[in-house]
Amino acid sequence: MYGNAYIDKNDIRPSTDVDDPVKLEEFEARIARGEKIEPDDWMPAKYRKTLIRMIEQHAHSEIIGALPEGTWITRAPSFKRKLALIAKVQDEVGHGHLLYAAAETLGKSREAMINDLLNGKSKYSNVFNYPAKTWADIAVIGFLVDAGAIVNQLANSKGSYGPYCRALERICYEESFHLKQGYDAFVALAAGTPKQRAMVQDALNRWWFPPLMHFFGPPDDLSVHSEELIRWKVKMMTNEEMRQEFMDQYVPKIWEMGLTLPDPKLRRDETTGKWEYTQPDWDEFFRVINGDGPCNKERLAVRRYAELSGRWVREALKNPKQVHHVPYA
Amino acid sequence: MQNSLDPRIRRSDLDSASGFNQVGENENWETFAVFHQDKRGDAHVFVGIVHAPDPELALVFAKEQYGRRKKTVNMWVVRSTDIYTFRHEDEDMFATVPEKNYREASGYPVRKRINKYLHDLEEAHS
C-alpha cells in the first residue's frame, strides 16, 4: 500500500562523514547512466541514511496500515468482500516484510527498525492515524489511499537502489488488485441506494481532508537537500508532482459517479493542466506525524501488544548459535 | 483503548504491553535467500529473503510470502551466511575484449564464403 515519500528535512542532519570525492563522482555517474546501486556498492552516507529512513518508514506504514482495515474483516458486508479484504491485509503485511528486507540490506537490522517504531523514533504514513468508521471508509481507503500509494510506488520503483526497486515491482503488481477491489466496493456503494450513496459521500468528505490531501506530504521547498535526493534518484517526483498526478487520475473517477469532494476551490485549470485546490492544514500534518492524531496511541499500542504476545514463540525457536548477517539482496 | 472502534482491541488488555518497547537482538532470527520456480522446466530464481529460525520454517514462510500469488511448483531456501559472492565493485574483472565476434555463431558467415566460392567457380568456367 502505502508508500509515503515524505521526508522531514529537519529529521536529516547533515552527515559529518565527508564522502570521498572520487567515489562520489563515480557513484553519481553510475546513477546518471541509469544503473542501479546494489547493497555492497560504495554509497554516500546521506544516501544510505535517507534510504533506510524512507524504506523503513514505508515498511512501518504497510504493517500499521493493516490495522484499520483488519478491523473490518469481521464485519465485511459479503463473503466475497471478506475474502478480498483478508487477501489485501495479508498482502500488506507481506509488503511490510519485503520492505524491511530491502532496508536491511543497507545495514539496519529488522529488530532495530521495530524498536524505533515502538519508541516513536520512526514515522509511518499519517493516513493510518485516522479511524475507519464505516464500511464505506474501507472502500475509500482501498480505492484512494491505495491509488495514492501506487502513484508514489510506481515513481519510486524507477529509483536507483536495486533492492528497493525489486521489492516495489512486486508490490505494485499486488497493489493493482487492492485498488481494483477498492474501486469496485466504492462504485457498488455509489451506484447503490440513497443510504449507500450518503455513506460513501460521508466517507469521502472525511478522507479528503486531511488524510488524502496530506498523503504526499507538504509541497517541497526546492532545497539543495531535495535536489540532491532527486539527482541520486532516491526521490523520483516532488510531493506536489505526485499530488497532481493523483488528482489527474482519480478526481474524474470520483466525479463520474456524481459524488462531490469537500473543496469548493478544486478544479483543473485547462490552460496549465494543473489542479487548483485549497491547501490543507499543514500544521495538523506535523501535529499528527509527531504523535498527536486521533489513532496514534492505539496503533502503537496494538503493535506493542502484538510484538509482546508473539515474543515467547520467537524466543522458543531462537537458535543460540546464529549470527546476524546483512542479506546480499 | 476503550474508545477504539475495533471490538477486538477493546477486548484486549493492551495496557499489559505498555512498557514493552525493546525487541531483543536476533529475536527475528537469521535470514534465508529464497529461490522460486514458477513452472517445471524453468530455473529457480532468487526472489527475496525471509527471516526464520531454521530451514524448515524458512520454507513455510517462503511459501507464504513468495508463493502466495504467483504460480509456484517448487522453492529453495539457503542460509544467507552460506552464500559466497564476488563484490560489485570488482565487476571490471568480468570485462573481456570488446569485440567478441569470434566466439559467436553469427561471427562465422559460412554461406557468404560458399557463395563466393561457387560464384568464382562459375566465373572460371564461363
Q: Which three three-digit cell numbers place residue A66? A: 493493516
What mean pLDDT do residues A265-288 have? 96
pLDDT at res. A222: 65
Is pLDDT above 70 for B51?
Answer: yes
C-alpha pair distances (Å), A98 with each of A101, A191, B21: 5, 37, 23
pLDDT at res. A7: 52
Query: Are residues A251 and A261 in contact, defined by beta-carbon separation less than 8 angstroms?
Result: yes
Burial class (CB in 10 A: 0-12, 13-18, 19+), A34: exposed
What mean pLDDT do residues A249-256 have? 98
Q: What is the pLDDT of residues A6-28, one digit of tens each?
A: 555 555 445 556 789 999 999 99
Q: How confident is the model at residue A221 (pLDDT cuts 50, 70, 90)?
A: confident
Q: Cβ A317–B29 below 8 Å, yes or no?
A: yes
pLDDT at res. B52: 97
Which residue in the set A41, A170, A302 is minimally distant from B88, CB to CB? A41
Q: How confident is the model at residue A187 (pLDDT cuts 50, 70, 90)?
A: very high
C-alpha pair distances (Å), B35 with each of A105, A307, A329, B19: 18, 28, 12, 39
What mean pLDDT do residues B13-42 have? 95
Estimate to the nearest angstrom the gap between the alpha carbon of A214 and the chain centroid. Answer: 12
User: What is the largest distance, in Å, between two alpha-carbon atoms of chain B?
Assistant: 106
Q: How far is the C-alpha of A181 from the C-alpha of A81, rounded, in Å?
A: 8
Judge whether A328 is closer than 8 Å to chain B, CB to CB: yes
Is pLDDT above 70 for B115?
Answer: yes
Q: How far is the C-alpha of A189 from the C-alpha of A139, rounded, in Å?
A: 9
pLDDT at res. A18: 78
Give the residue from B23, B120, B114, B121 showing the smallest Cα distance to A100: B23
Q: Cβ B12–A104 below 8 Å, yes or no?
A: no
Which residue in the set B48, B53, B85 is minimally distant from A317, CB to CB? B53
Alpha-carbon dihedral of residues A170, A175, A178, A184, nearest 10 degrees? -130
Mean of per-residue pLDDT scores for chain A: 93
Read off the amino acid at residue A59. A
Q: How far is the C-alpha of A191 from the C-alpha of A258, rounded, in Å?
A: 9
Q: How confident is the model at residue A314 (pLDDT cuts 50, 70, 90)?
A: very high
pTM of the model: 0.92
Which residues of chain A neighbour B23 with C-beta distances below 8 Å? Answer: 111, 114-115, 118, 307, 311
3-state class (DSSP) for residue A235: coil
Query: Are residues A246 and A216 in contact, defined by beta-carbon separation less than 8 angstroms?
Result: yes
* Phi (first) and psi of residue A145, to 5 degrees: -65, -40
Judge whether B9 is closer than 8 Å to chain A, CB to CB: yes
pLDDT at res. A4: 46
Kindly report which listed range (A31-40, A66-75, A315-324, B75-84) carries the lowest average pLDDT score: A315-324
Q: What is the pLDDT of residues A57-90, one digit of tens each?
A: 999 999 999 999 999 999 999 999 999 999 999 9
Kindly report which listed range (A67-76, A151-160, A218-227, A238-247) carries the lowest average pLDDT score: A218-227
Which ranges in chain B belong to alpha helices (H)?
7-11, 55-66, 110-125
Q: What is the pLDDT of residues B62-98, one digit of tens each?
A: 999 999 988 999 999 999 999 999 999 899 999 888 8
Query: Are residues A174 and A168 in contact, defined by beta-carbon separation less than 8 angstroms?
Result: no
Sheet holding B74-79, edge to edge: B45-52, B30-37, B74-79
Judge whether B91 is closer than 8 Å to chain A, CB to CB: no
